Amino acid sequence: MTQQAGSAGSEPTAPRQRPEAIRAVPVRHPGRWVTGAVLLLLVAMIVHTLVSRVPNPTGAKGEVWRFSWNEVGSYLFSPSIFPAAELTIWLTILAMGVGIVGGVIIGTMRLSANPLLKGIAFLYAWFFRGTPVLVQIFFWYNIASVYSSPVSIGIPFGHAFWFADPNKVITGFIAVSVLGLGLNEAAYMSEIVRAGLLSVDAGQIEAAQSLGMRRLLTLRRVVLPQAMRVIIPPTGNEVISMLKTTSLAGLAGMIELYGWSQAVATRTFQPIPPLITISLWYLFMTTVLSIGQYFVERHYRRGVAGQSPGTFTELWAMSIGRWGRADYAVAAAPATVEGRG
Amino acid sequence: MAEGAGPMVRAEDVHKSFGRHEVLKGVDLVVERGSVACILGPSGSGKSTFLRCINHLEKINAGRLAVDGVLVGYRERRGKLYELNDRQVASMRQDIGMVFQRFNLFAHLTAIENVMLAPMKVRQIAKAAARERARSLLDRVGLAGFEDRYPAMLSGGQQQRVAIARALAMDPKLMLFDEPTSALDPELVGEVLDVMRDLANEGMTMVVVTHEVGFAREVGDAVCFFDEGIVQEQGDPRTVLAAPSNPRFAAFLSSVLS
């Protein structure tokens, strides 16, 4: 012992060799192979039934696709589906427009110092989140039956400046998009906005105030931009969700994608082909939206450490994962992925 | 009292409570124009609360507090006090810079945008002029070349120096520092104190809540010791810090210095 200590002190220490890299037999995962095989079998069965053929139900000779792919192919880009898809998009835009603007207003009111504003905002969210959106749509669709005589706008219980016939103002489109879907969405968006505003550190507000910034300026230039980071991802989900929820408008007689499919189904007595067709349209539109969502999120993530969003393909790779390892470092450190080969 | 004469800060018997808990129990303090006042004291003594009262981040409950001869947060007319509205309070705060313990830089803006925001949006200065001024202020705090970094990409010391530049961009007549080095790693404290020392040498009026007794001794023109919500002792740092007469101050100093 003493000898070793002496030699270490007197002689220059030799540079230490790096130990050999560990080469161990990796843990085997038989369970993964079994579940993988079972699932693969199920997928193969589904694919098989999707592309299987059956005897022609009309009694004619030959076979047809079980899932009527010929009809789906002819519907997919038929002239009548484009206006339906356009209406779906407009319903989504209007409903989300009302939802976002209303949500910012209601959400900000929820955090107001004024107890009256706070209470009204709470009641609003309570009512619109507590009743089904389908019920709300039909309620607004039929609201004109309650106001059959012209409605006036003016001094309460006094002189009226403007008259309107509810039957003309509240058309089906407005009833469904703005009132039915929009007002309901505003209630949900208000919760998202509220969470976003609360996520901003109080120190940010104090710093802005200490610089002489007024309340509204602080909200606009300091709080909202930072709240966006929290608000944007769930809002993207809301947009995608709304695109699909607009199918309820079909029940109120509008010829958007779902309404179109029902019209075709009643004409041909074949409900499945148009349903498959609009599913493909919905899938296409939600995919486009989720790509857009990625770029908007990246914009609002500026200045946040350790949250480099990575490229779109990296995020995609992360969500899909890789065979045999859940590698969440993929998006955070793209360089190491290349290094590993 | 008119602006431009008399002390910069005058506090007379200032009281502040949070609910039933009284934090300030009658603070008397005067900060002369162009001087540096350092406030020492154990945590919970009310020193940060007092600092926040000076720019009305906290409302005082009793007493008188004036900056540059003007009451903070109130207007007096015919012996009656009127609360200032949002616009009036904001206008008062423009001339009082504040630096926080946790920096509080705007996380979504780069260093130079942090410095430019208030001059542009509050003082309506043109963007090019604001950028020019911000660049020279960042240079002054030793951060030339860091203009386009986001706060998360800067060390604590660098962030605090940006925060000082941000406050200076409004040309304040008074700077408040709320434990500016308490959240920093020890090796980064010096760079922030250096900037503050330069500022003091240029004649800025400063109120500094700090635990840095060395800084108080070297830079401070006055030191006051807060405890239990009142000023227990104040005076010239060289005499007071060398021979504190208040036993609690003596105990506090020996615990901080050991």
Query: Within 10 Å of residue B78's Cβ, how many Cβ atoms?
Result: 4
pLDDT digits (tens, 9 = 90+) for A264-307: 999 999 999 999 999 999 999 999 999 998 888 887 776 664 44
E strand or H helix that includes residue B176 = strand B174-178
Residue B84's alpha-carbon distances to A214, B14, B32, B58, in angstroms, are 13, 18, 25, 13
CA B50/CA B228 separation, integer angstroms: 12
How much is the pLDDT for A172?
72
Sketch the domain layout of chain B as residue ranges.
Answer: 105-171
Given a cut of 50, the residues of chain A with pLDDT beneath it are 1-9, 305-309, 320-341
* B220 min Cα distance to partner chain A (Å): 23
Whether residues A211 and B117 touch (CB distance < 8 A) is answered with yes
Structure tokens at A3: 């000898």
CATH architecture of the domain with range A79-153+163-307:
Orthogonal Bundle (1.10)
Lowest mean pLDDT among A152-156, B232-236, B238-242: A152-156
How much is the pLDDT for A304?
63
**Which residue from A183, A144, A174 is spatially nearest to A254, judged by alpha carbons?**
A174
pLDDT digits (tens, 9 = 90+) for B13-23: 999 999 999 99
Give long-range contacts, CB 8 A cutoff, 24+ apart: B33-36.
B33/B6, B33/B7, B33/B8, B33/B205, B34/B203, B34/B204, B34/B205, B35/B8, B35/B205, B35/B206, B35/B221, B35/B222, B36/B200, B36/B205, B36/B206, B36/B208, B36/B219, B36/B220, B36/B221, B36/B222
* A287 min Cα distance to partner chain B (Å): 29
Do residues B22 and B16 lie in contact, with contact meaning Cβ atoms separated by under 8 Å?
A: yes
Whether residues A214 and B170 touch (CB distance < 8 A) is answered with no
CA A110/CA A224 separation, integer angstroms: 15
Do residues B213 and B181 lie in contact, with contact meaning Cβ atoms separated by under 8 Å?
A: no
How much is the pLDDT for B132?
96
**Minimum-distance CB partner of B104 among A206, A229, A302:** A206
- Please tell me the total number of residues recorded for chain A in this structure: 341
DSSP annotation of A311: -
> Which residues of chain A have a CB within 8 Å of the CB of B97?
210
Whether residues B100 and A203 touch (CB distance < 8 A) is answered with yes
Whether residues B150 and A207 touch (CB distance < 8 A) is answered with no
CA B158/CA B142 separation, integer angstroms: 9
Whether residues A215 and B86 touch (CB distance < 8 A) is answered with yes
What is the separation of C-alpha A249 from the centre of its chain, rounded to a whole number of angstroms? 19
**Minimum-distance CB partner of A213 among B90, B109, B167:** B90
The mean pLDDT value for B117-142 works out to 96
> Which residues of chain B have a CB within 8 Å of the CB of A229?
108
**Which residue from B88, B42, B36 is spatially nearest to B199, judged by alpha carbons?**
B36
Looking at the DSSP bridge assignments, the partners of residue B230 are B227
Q: How many helices (H) and strands (E) does chain B have?
A: 9, 12
Whether residues A302 and B170 touch (CB distance < 8 A) is answered with no
CA B206/CA B212 separation, integer angstroms: 15
Do residues A121 and A106 lie in contact, with contact meaning Cβ atoms separated by under 8 Å?
A: yes
**Which residue from A258, A235, A253 is spatially nearest to A88, judged by alpha carbons?**
A258
How much is the pLDDT for A280?
96
Looking at the DSSP bridge assignments, the partners of residue B174 are B96, B205
On whether any CB of chain B is under 8 Å from the CB of A38, the answer is no
Do residues A109 and A117 lie in contact, with contact meaning Cβ atoms separated by under 8 Å?
A: yes
Whether residues B107 and A303 touch (CB distance < 8 A) is answered with yes
Q: List residues of B whose CB lies inside 8 A of any A CB.
A: 55, 57, 86-87, 90-98, 100, 102, 104-110, 117-118, 121-122, 150-153, 163, 166-167, 170, 176
CA A235/CA B123 separation, integer angstroms: 35
Report the residue of A199, A211, A298 to disrupt the B interface, i.e. the one with the largest count of B CBs within 10 Å.
Answer: A211
Residue of A nearest to B119 (CA): A211
More confident residue, B102 or B256: B102
Do residues A278 and A254 lie in contact, with contact meaning Cβ atoms separated by under 8 Å?
A: no
How much is the pLDDT for A33?
93
Structure tokens at A192: 């998202």
Three-state secondary-structure class, residue A214: coil
Average pLDDT, chain B: 94
**Minimum-distance CB partner of B108 among A209, A211, A303:** A303
Nearest-10 Cα torsion for A104, A110, A116, A122 = 100
**Minimum-distance CB partner of B57 among A206, A214, A302:** A206
Structure tokens at A308: 């480099």
On whether any CB of chain B is under 8 Å from the CB of A123, the answer is no
Do residues A95 and A175 lie in contact, with contact meaning Cβ atoms separated by under 8 Å?
A: no
On whether any CB of chain B is under 8 Å from the CB of A204, the answer is yes
Which residue's entry shows tokens 């070297």? B218
* A113 min Cα distance to partner chain B (Å): 13
Whether residues B104 and A203 touch (CB distance < 8 A) is answered with yes
**Which residue from A223, A225, A231, A224 is spatially nearest to A205, judged by alpha carbons?**
A223
**Minimum-distance CB partner of B117 among A201, A221, A303:** A221
Pairing state between β B205-209 and B174-178: parallel
* A230 min Cα distance to partner chain B (Å): 13
Whether residues A212 and B170 touch (CB distance < 8 A) is answered with yes
Three-state secondary-structure class, residue B142: coil
Query: Within 10 Å of residue B67's Cβ, how many Cβ atoms?
Result: 24
How much is the pLDDT for A328?
40
CA A10/CA B140 separation, integer angstroms: 51
More confident residue, B175 or A2: B175
User: Is the four-CA dihedral B69, B75, B80, B86 of positive or negative sign?
Assistant: negative
Do residues B176 and B97 lie in contact, with contact meaning Cβ atoms separated by under 8 Å?
A: yes
CA B235/CA A264 separation, integer angstroms: 91
How much is the pLDDT for A226?
92
CA A262/CA A274 separation, integer angstroms: 8
Residue of A nearest to B93 (CA): A212
DSSP annotation of B83: E
